[in-house]
Amino acid sequence: MRVLIQRCLNSSVSVDNDIIGKIDSGVVLFVCFTEGDSSSEIDYMIDKIINLRIFDDENGIMNKSLIDVDGSILSISQFTLYADTRKGRRPSYINALNGNEASLLYDEFNNKIMDLNIHVETGKFGADMKVSLVNDGPVTIMLEKENNYEKKCS
């Protein structure tokens, strides 16, 4: 599982020129799954995301978490995070999980965060989305949780 996290001042996602998700201060998450990902990877990633100290404290030092600042999340499905660009000019997306399975994991991911009383807005899985954000810092961090399937194939 891979998640690209960007701290933001505000962000929104639209489909067909209609805004379907919008947050103020918090993070934008670009979320991608691969073969073998499960609830285990989701739970690990959620804990990492909500407790990652990437927000400034009163001294301007990144020492506060999303929970500490009562931040929101805009979650966007992003299969291209598993792009393989080692050969040729066209990325291969073979390592991204198929849409049906990825959609179920994406819903589980978002629902588990909401169950923690964190405000979550989402894009539309599989849609052509336009994401707008003001990156704060900028702070952009790639998170990855390798699963047992990936370890066997390495």
pTM reported for the whole predicted model? 0.93
Cα distances from 78 to residues 42, 92, 117, 152, in angstroms, run 15, 14, 24, 24
Which range marks the domain in which residue 99 is found?
Answer: 2-153
122 carries an active-site annotation: no
pLDDT band at 151 (very low <50, low <70, confident <90, very high): low
> Looking at residue 130, which CATH number applies to its domain?
3.50.80.10
Predicted pLDDT at 147: 84
Average pLDDT, integer, range 29-53: 97
Spatial distance between the Cα atoms of 26 and 70, rounded to a whole number of angstroms: 8
Number of domains into which the chain is organized? 1
Distance CA 144, CA 33 (A): 10
> Tokens 């990492």, residue?
48
Please give the Cα distance from 53 to 57 (Å, whole number).
10
Choosing from 30, 33, 55, 78, the catalytic residue is 78
Q: Which residues pair with 120 in a beta bridge?
A: 73
Catalytic pick among 33, 79, 109, 122: 79
